[in-house]
Amino acid sequence: MISAHIINGSSDCERLSELPDSIGYRLYRHNAAGVMLLDTFRPDRVPPHPFQYPLPTADVSLDLPAEMDAFTALYDQLYKLDLANSFKKSYINFSLLLHDLTAQPVLSIATDDDELDFACTVADGRVTRLTAHCGDLMVTSVNGLPHIQPLVPEFEGDAEVLSDTTEIQTSIPTATVSDRNVEWPTQLNGVALQEWLAFCEYGQPIIGLGTFDPTTDEADWELVRSS
């Protein structure tokens, strides 16, 4: 798993001390990319390596802001389809909190080598980009509203387990559901990698995104502070 919160811009990050006590952290600077990265974990379980532990959620709200009511409704529909685990409401709210504490754009990602691939970007006090690969559905935010792209499976036999999006269309009038005409993406960490490259001008993967091989940019890392 890769879990990280990337801060684009210079910030002293002094207000990180205001994070809930249930969230331990290590703040790194990636000198080549010019970004700060926050690694989060349970304080009683400090992992030996960064960016491999999911965000602790005991004190992170799961209620999305009022302006994201359509995404709350979408989450409920994804839950009925058993696809909600890949839509990380906690990461959205934590990104908003981190943006408030640092006054800088924030990209939060949660991705693994199986089904999880989620990323959201917060800037100017709101969620500006959101992408989640939820089973056979790709969820994005278009002008602040949900867009659902059903995916064409790699194998014909998988057509029997494709999600019925009828209820999403009828219960969420502001959501757009496209035809099932986009191929299933196969890039490892594809969503997180795509959003990282859109977020930063550095233009290269970091923290192992997109590969099973160990990262080769250790010399660029600097531990700035920790809880």
Domain containing 208 equals 2-226
Which pTM does this prediction carry?
Answer: 0.94
Q: Which amino acid is at 69?
A: D
Looking at residue 56, its pLDDT comes to 97
**Per-residue tokens: 34:** 């010019």
pLDDT in tens, 40-64: 999 999 999 999 999 999 999 999 9
Give the C-alpha distances (Å, rounded to integers) separating 163 from 40, 77, 137, 148, 199.
33, 11, 8, 11, 31
Are the beta carbons of 129 and 109 closer than 8 angstroms? no
The CA distances from residue 175 to 51, 93, 147, 165, 212, in Å, are 33, 21, 6, 11, 35
Burial category of 28 from C-beta neighbours within 10 Å (exposed 0-12, middle 13-18, buried 19 and up): buried
Cβ neighbours for 38, distance < 8 A, ≥ 6 positions apart:
4, 5, 6, 7, 16, 25, 26, 27, 28, 98
Distance of alpha carbon 178 from the chain centroid: 22
* Residue 68 binned pLDDT confidence (cut-offs 50, 70, 90): very high
Q: How many domains is the chain built from? A: 1
Q: What is the mean pLDDT of residues 9-32?
A: 91
Characterize the bridge pairing of strands 106-111 and 24-30: unpaired
Query: Is residue 26 over pLDDT 90?
Result: yes
* pLDDT band at residue 28 under the 50/70/90 scheme: very high
Q: How far apart are CA 76 and CA 48, in angstroms?
A: 36
Name the 3-class secondary structure at 97.
Answer: helix
- Residue 86, SS3 per DSSP: helix
Q: Shortest CA distance to 198 belongs to which of 51, 8, 1? A: 8
Number of residues that this document lists for the chain: 227
- Maximum distance among all alpha carbons in the chain? 53
Structural tokens at position 56: 């602790």
- Mean pLDDT value across the chain: 93
Query: pLDDT tens-digit profile of 82-138?
Result: 999 999 999 999 999 999 999 999 999 999 999 999 999 999 999 999 999 999 999
* Mode of pairing for the β-strands spanning 182-183 and 145-152: parallel
pLDDT band at 161 (very low <50, low <70, confident <90, very high): confident
| Pairs from 173-177 (Cβ < 8 Å, separation ≥ 24) | 174/70, 174/145, 174/146, 175/70, 175/73, 175/74, 175/145, 175/146, 175/147, 175/148, 176/142, 176/145, 176/146, 176/147, 176/148, 177/147, 177/148, 177/150
Range among 143-157, 169-183, 201-215 with highest mean pLDDT value: 169-183
